[in-house]
Amino acid sequence: MTTTAATTSVKPPLPLLEFIALMALLTSLVALSIDAMLPALNQIGSDLNSQSPQQTYLVISLFFGGMALGQIFFGPFSDARGRRLTILVGLIIFIMGTFVCYFAQSIEVLLLGRVVQAVGVSGPRVASMAVIRDQYEGNAMARVMSFIGVIFILVPMIAPLVGQAVMQYFHWREIFTVFWMVAVISGAWFFLRQPETLTRANRKKFAWHHFAGSCLWLLNKRQVMGYSIAMGSIFGAFLAYLSGSQTIFQDIYDTGEWFPLVFAILAFAIGLASFFNGLMVLKWGMQTICDRALRFSMTFGIALTAITLYFDGVPPLWLFISTLFFGFFFMGMLFGNLNALAMLPVGHIAGLGAAFIGSFTSLLAVTIAMIINRFLTTDLMPIAFGFLVFSVLSFFAVQYAKKIEA
């Protein structure tokens, strides 16, 4: 069922279900830090005198930019100092950024705190991916990632409800109290139960020339770059939807208090896909699933663009949600598989490899999302065109990656 990575002789020290739950909780800090903020964006913009909705969107999109920076640091750090110390340092930085956000009196200070948060959360994200890669590879890794995704996706489903509940009974600042509490709980669980997976003999002392050489090797690795471009492209279109979701559902569609429920329904599509992928990946293989999911994703992009054009930019809510559910299901089968395929050749530098891939895809996704969101005002054409264009780009990037060099 599993294949031990070549970089370590350590076998999975925890029962599979506990391991999956722990890794999901650690990585869920990312989704929690993003999605719990969504119901509060308008109030944050008003309280902190944001200059425009686009500036308020940065509360979401800049988080991914900060993660890109953090992963570049924590990748080599993880390979040099081990996974446990990486998670500890990352959680401390994350909590510091959380307090900056809590006490922020301007949108600029809040955005600074969000970047610090994101840099910190990169530690657990990179180290968790490296821990998984230390112990699994190929289809087995994709299977574990898919089951982690099933739990992970519960966070986007409930996080907006958490954010809305906090705002109803307290203040939006208390959302950040939830963040540091989850960070403390997940960190305590990890240090009590999960041993180090990178032995001292396999650690790589950081050196700039080794770092540059490894990055150059990754840049020239067709499989790494092709799948990373595909993942960044499709995630960029999704991030544009994510950061603009409050505008879409509360301003354009005026769903009001139903917004978290609508958001949860669409997040469920991705969770359902992750569960299905976890069941089928060992039978069909990552590549076959990716090929099929990408074709359906392009079909989704075409369909969403067509109905949006037909209804002059704002299709009926039920039709819009139904089409997104279809598209998000197939996107949910892409994320874990594309990441596992990109990570496949980098077992000997799992920490740096995870960091490089995560940083590259985050920067690409943030750039794409910011471009799309510049045009998101009163209709959904930018979102529809974004899904169409970047699903096509993802398809061709995968075709490039499949031509694996000898």
- Give the tens place of pLDDT for each residue, 19-42: 777 777 787 788 788 888 888 887
d(CA 402, CA 406): 12
On whether residue 66 sits in a domain, the answer given is yes
Q: How many domains does the chain have?
A: 1
Residue 29: alpha-carbon gap to chain centroid: 10
CA 288 vs. chain centroid, Å, equals 22
Residue 387 has pLDDT above 90, yes or no: yes
Q: Cα angle vertex 146, ends 215, 83, to 5°?
A: 45
Do the domain assignments include residue 287?
yes
Model confidence at 384: pLDDT above 90: yes
In a domain, 7, yes or no: no
Residue 281 has pLDDT above 80, yes or no: no
Whether 8 and 351 have beta carbons less than 8 Å apart is answered as: no
Domain-located, residue 126 = yes
In a domain, 345, yes or no: yes
Averaged pLDDT, 176-189: 88
The amino acid at residue 106 is: S
Question: For all residues of the chain together, what is the average pLDDT?
Answer: 79
pLDDT band at residue 2 under the 50/70/90 scheme = very low
Three-state SS letters, 382-400: HHHHHHHHHHHHHHHHHHH
Task: State residue 6's pLDDT score.
Answer: 40
Give dist(CA 279, CA 282) in Å, integer: 7
Neighbours of 393 (CB within 10 A): 18
* Confidence check: pLDDT of 103 > 50: yes
Q: Is 205 among the domain residues?
A: no
pLDDT at 309: 94
Is pLDDT of 7 > 50? no
Q: Mean pLDDT throughout 266-291?
A: 75
What is the rounded CA–CA span in Å between residue 362 and residue 175? 24
Amino acid at 74: F
Question: How far apart are the C-alpha atoms of 131 and 257, rounded to whole Å?
Answer: 39
pLDDT at position 140 is 65
DSSP 214: H
DSSP-assigned letters across all residues of 76-107 = HHHHHH-HHHHHHHHHHHHHHHHHHHHH--SH
Res. 155 pLDDT band, cuts 50 70 90: confident
Whether the pTM exceeds 0.75: the reply is: no
Give me the domain span that covers residue 56. Answer: 16-197+217-401
Asked whether residue 350 is domain-assigned, the answer is yes
Helices within 136-247 (DSSP H only): 138-152, 154-169, 174-193, 208-219, 222-243, 245-246
> Is a pLDDT exceeding 70 seen at residue 199?
no
Query: How far from 299 is each of 124, 269, 304, 324, 395, CA to CA, in Å?
Result: 35, 16, 9, 12, 12
pLDDT band at 100 (very low <50, low <70, confident <90, very high): very high
**Model confidence at 1, in pLDDT bands (50, 70, 90)?**
very low
Measured CA to CA, the distance from residue 128 to residue 41 in angstroms comes to: 29
Measured CA to CA, the distance from residue 74 to residue 80 in angstroms comes to 10
The radius of gyration computed from the CA coordinates of the chain, to the nearest angstrom, equals 20
Q: How far apart are CA 237 and CA 365, in angstroms?
A: 7
pLDDT at 136: 65
Rounded to whole angstroms, how far apart are CA atoms 298 and 5? 34
What's the CATH number where 230 sits?
1.20.1250.20
Within-domain flag for 8: no
